[in-house]
C-alpha cells in the first residue's frame, strides 16, 4: 500500500489542500511554480502599474464593506451636488456583451478642476482627433477593463484597452489639479493614475463611499443619471480580481448641450 502525504500548497490569494502520493511531490513543486508564474502575469496584466494595483487592492481589502442603501446616502449626494456646481454634462452609452444596457450621464465640476474636466469632456466628444500615439482621443469603442465588485468600474484606456495605456488631450499625462472634492459617496467619477501627477485618459466610477482615495486621485464629476447602469456593470461583469466576466464597452460618448439638460432629467 502506497504512503499518502497530506500536503498544503500555498500560492498568492489561493490555498489548496490535497492528498498526494509520494511520487507526486515533484509534480506539485512544478505546479506550484506554474501557478506562481500565472499569478504574476495576471497581476501585471490587470493594471498598467503594480504600485497602483497594490494600493487600490489594499484599500479594497481593508476598507470596502457591502453597500447599503438608505435615505441618508441620498441626502449626502444632494449636499455634494449643491456644494459643487455642475458646469458640463457628458454621456456614456454602454454595451454588455454586445447588448445596449443604457446611458450613464456624468456631471462635471468645471469650476473646481477645469483642466481635468476639459480633458474628460474632450475625450468624451472625440473633438481633438488623434493623439501623439496615433490613437483616437475618444472614449467611444473603449472598454471598462477593470470592474471590482463592491468598489469601482474603471475604463478610459484609449491606447490598449486593457489598463496599460493612458493619454490626455494635452499630450502624455498631466499633473494633479487639486484634491478639493472627496470620494464621499457612490457615483464619484475620478482620475485613475499610476502615482502622483500621472493623469491621462483613464477614469473610474465608485460604487461605494471611498474616502481612503482622497488626496491620491482627482475627483472631477459624479454620476447624475444612470447609476443603475453602473451597478448593472458591477453586478453583471464584476469580479474580486477586477478582470471583467463580460465585455463591457463604451459604445458611444459625447457632451449634452445645456439646452437639452432639462430633457435628460
How far apart, in whole angstroms, are the C-alpha atoms of residue 152 and residue 186?
A: 9
* pLDDT score of 64 more than 90: no
pLDDT bucket at 264, cuts 50 / 70 / 90: low
- The domain total for the chain is 2
147-to-57, 79, 99, 152, 239 alpha-carbon distances in Å: 12, 27, 18, 6, 6
Q: Which residue has the higher pLDDT, 90 or 52?
A: 90
Amino acid 16: pLDDT = 34
This prediction's pTM: 0.71
What domain range includes position 121?
88-257
Domain match, 107 and 168 both: yes
5 falls within a domain: no
pLDDT one-digit tens code per residue, 161-187: 999 999 999 999 999 999 999 999 999
Q: Indicate the average pLDDT of the chain.
A: 80
- Residue 21 corresponds to which cell in the numbers above? 502520493
Q: Tell me, yes or no, whether 62 and 129 share the same domain.
A: no
Residues 148 and 237 in one domain: yes
80-89, 99-108, 234-243: least confident range: 80-89
Q: Does residue 1 lie within any of the structural domains?
A: no
Task: Tell me if 72 is assigned to some domain.
Answer: no
Are 40 and 133 in a shared domain?
A: no
Please check whether residues 62 and 127 belong to one and the same domain.
Answer: no
Judgement on whether residues 148 and 203 belong to the same structural domain of the protein: yes
Give the CATH number of the domain where residue 245 resides: 2.40.100.10
Mean pLDDT, to the nearest integer, of 75-91?
Answer: 72
Does the structure show a pLDDT above 60 at 86? yes
Residue 63 domain-assigned (yes or no): yes
pLDDT bucket at 95, cuts 50 / 70 / 90: very high
Residues 148 and 49 placed together within one structural domain of the fold: no
Q: Provide the 10 A C-beta neighbour count for residue 140.
A: 18
> Burial of 197 by CB count in 10 Å (0-12 exposed, 13-18 middle, 19+ buried)?
exposed
Whether the pLDDT of residue 100 is over 70: the answer is yes
pLDDT for 72 equals: 54
Rounded average pLDDT over 13-40:
46
> How many angstroms separate the CA atoms of 112 and 120, rounded?
14
* Burial 64-100, CB ≥16 within 10 A → b, else e: beeeeeeeeeeeebeebeeebebbbbbbbbbbbeeee
- The verdict on 28 and 104 lying in the same domain is no
CA-to-CA distance for 250 and 255, rounded, in angstroms? 14
Judge residue 200's burial from the number of C-beta atoms within 10 Å of its C-beta, 0-12 exposed, 13-18 middle, 19 or more buried.
Answer: buried
33/115 same-domain check: no
In this structure, are 199 and 155 located in the same domain?
yes
For range 143-157, the mean pLDDT = 97
Residue 17 lies inside a defined structural domain of this protein? no
Across 83-106, average pLDDT: 96
pLDDT in tens, 197-246: 999 999 999 999 999 999 999 999 999 999 999 999 999 999 999 999 99
Of 170, 206, 171, 211, which is closest to residue 191 (Cα–Cα)? 206
Looking at residue 265, what is its pLDDT? 53
- The answer to whether residues 106 and 61 belong to one domain is no
**pLDDT given for residue 5 in this prediction:** 30
Whether the predicted pLDDT of 88 surpasses 50: yes
Q: Report yes or no: 181 and 220 within 8 Å, Cβ to Cβ.
A: yes
Average the pLDDT over 63-70 and give the result: 45
Query: Is 16 domain-assigned?
Result: no
Asked if residue 145 and residue 116 are part of one domain, the reply reads yes
In a domain, 76, yes or no: no
**pLDDT band for position 109 (50/70/90)?**
very high
In this structure, what are the phi and psi dihedrals at residue 244, rounded to the nearest 5 degrees? Answer: -60, 140
Query: Is 9 within the bounds of a domain?
Result: no
- 28-51 pLDDT, tens per residue? 455 555 555 555 555 544 443 445
Residue owning grid cell 490587470: 46
- Residues 109-134, mean pLDDT to the nearest whole number: 97
Amino acid at each position: 500500500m502506497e504512503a499518502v502525504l497530506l500536503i498544503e500548497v500555498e500560492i498568492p490569494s489561493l490555498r489548496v489542500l490535497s492528498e498526494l502520493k509520494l511520487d507526486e511531490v515533484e509534480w506539485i513543486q512544478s505546479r506550484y511554480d506554474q501557478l506562481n508564474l500565472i499569478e504574476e502575469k495576471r497581476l501585471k496584466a490587470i493594471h498598467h502599474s503594480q504600485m497602483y494595483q497594490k494600493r487600490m487592492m489594499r484599500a479594497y481589502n481593508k476598507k470596502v464593506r457591502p453597500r447599503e442603501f438608505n435615505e441618508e446616502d441620498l441626502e449626502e449626494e444632494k449636499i455634494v451636488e449643491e456644494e459643487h456646481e455642475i458646469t458640463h454634462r457628458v454621456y456614456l452609452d454602454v454595451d454588455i456583451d454586445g447588448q445596449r444596457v443604457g446611458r450613464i450621464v456624468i456631471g462635471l465640476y468645471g469650476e473646481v478642476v477645469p483642466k481635468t474636466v476639459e480633458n474628460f469632456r474632450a475625450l468624451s466628444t472625440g473633438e481633438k482627433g488623434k493623439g501623439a500615439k496615433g490613437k483616437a482621443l475618444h472614449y467611444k469603442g473603449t472598454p471598462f477593463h477593470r470592474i471590482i465588485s463592491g468598489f469601482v468600474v474603471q475604463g478610459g484606456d484609449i491606447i490598449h484597452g486593457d489598463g496599460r495605456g493612458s493619454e490626455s488631450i494635452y499630450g502624455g499625462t498631466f499633473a494633479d489639479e487639486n484634491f478639493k472634492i472627496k470620494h464621499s459617496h457612490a457615483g464619484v467619477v475620478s482620475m485613475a493614475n499610476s502615482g502622483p501627477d500621472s493623469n491621462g485618459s483613464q477614469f473610474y466610477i465608485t460604487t461605494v463611499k471611498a474616502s481612503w482615495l482622497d488626496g491620491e486621485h482627482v475627483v472631477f464629476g459624479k454620476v447624475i443619471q444612470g447609476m443603475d447602469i453602473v451597478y448593472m456593470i458591477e453586478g453583471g461583469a464584476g469580479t474580486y480580481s477586477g478582470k471583467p466576466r463580460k465585455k463591457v464597452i463604451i459604445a458611444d460618448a459625447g457632451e449634452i448641450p445645456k439646452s437639452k439638460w432639462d430633457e435628460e432629467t
